[in-house]
Structure 1
């Protein structure tokens, strides 16, 4: 059995969280042995995906080579992680190799769980079913918005935590603005469906957002969780929870369906001994350390920190 590679500090994830930690550490002490585990060759500025879907930004402007965004004096390990072994201070890679660390930073981001919605993986990218949560689909969102002259446009948000909690509403407002400019609003029925019990998690924002929705003529439907998509019949099925916490299903026809998928921490985080009941890596909100393994830190979307999952 080959001996594991060793680095002083191992960072899982080359997104906003992991990259900023690596850069900050090496700026303060350039001799540190820092390794970043990141499988992707491309670093995306994900908040701009909504603007791509809204027709106001070019997809290519959201992307940069990963090699250009990581600190030059960090070691880049181009692999995915399959397992965390905090008892041995090791990380297992998908290729079976193990990395030993003195300190570990877990910042792998969040996973899009498309398959949690029945029929969605098969329907995506055609027949008006779109999503800004994947760069390969964002331009199709704009094609759907731009091409719709009349009909029903549905925008969804799941009840799970998601990255950029405002994004599901933003695309609805951007779309409605386009239709309003083209004087097509009276021909298009726009509806926003959220699995949450409120329009937004910050109460002070809710009245203002409600006014925006009213101004654009967007109907608001709370406690409506998308559970099924029939791409052939153009039917979206929602599980609706009433005031007595009883549930039933409703079918809604659509011409355009913008889906925000349910999201979760990556599997190696969910299955770790350091994960909490929700599957997020447990981290002290003041120190970012795991309480059982103080050499392990976590931040970003996969952590349990009481912050919005957005950079």
Structure 2
């Protein structure tokens, strides 16, 4: 599959209508995959068709890597065809795995944004072409729910604070409704999550919750996970500017309402989870591109001043990796 425009009917039903896709982002058969299998078994018991993809088995070229083989678009096909997504990742340096970030950068963002796709369709229905012709795959608009599992070895919260916020970058662009999310600690040696019966039970519950809402979208799915501070992403990671509060995960805004740290959420339309902010961002992208088109010669003239400054160092093609520093 290439990145040309796709116009598959967003309302088409088929094998993926009751499918839950599981993405395992850790070692094969490791703790993250064990939790994922617990969730997928529960989803299957609830009647879902389940599939498991191991991120470690996908070839995802980056930088100077050869462009082929490339499994990113193979995964894209499974993503847009599924009705439910469960992602399970180890927690690495307080965050998620690097390969998961790479996969998200390759496939998601503007090219998978439901708001942008709706705008592109509207522009083309009017007989025009957008200034920035993002990939157009109408299957993105299908209703889809998701659940997140993240597991690490640490017992304290500061070592896992960024895992769930970054997992949300995999779902907000496609308007996938996150219905449950869970963090686990204490699994610091291989496969040791099996010692935590509560964690296995919690993963099973997440699978049941995802399977129970297949066919629902952002507007009608129900969040069933642990309540967090933010009413949109249900997480607790915030940016404070005086008494102004911004959710660092999704962008919802509010103000500190009292000495006890309570937040009064004053503007949920700024959350990237909803469509309003992404629709405004879509317009902003097109307007910026149109403005820059008329300044292209000046942009190139100014940028060319930096071309001659080239203190780049790089490894020789035949230099052994072990000798590079």
**TM-score scaled by length of structure 1:** 0.27
Whose helix proportion is higher, 1 or 2?
2
Write 1 or 2 for the structure with the bigger share of strand. 1
Bigger relative contact order (CA 8 A; separation at least 6): 1
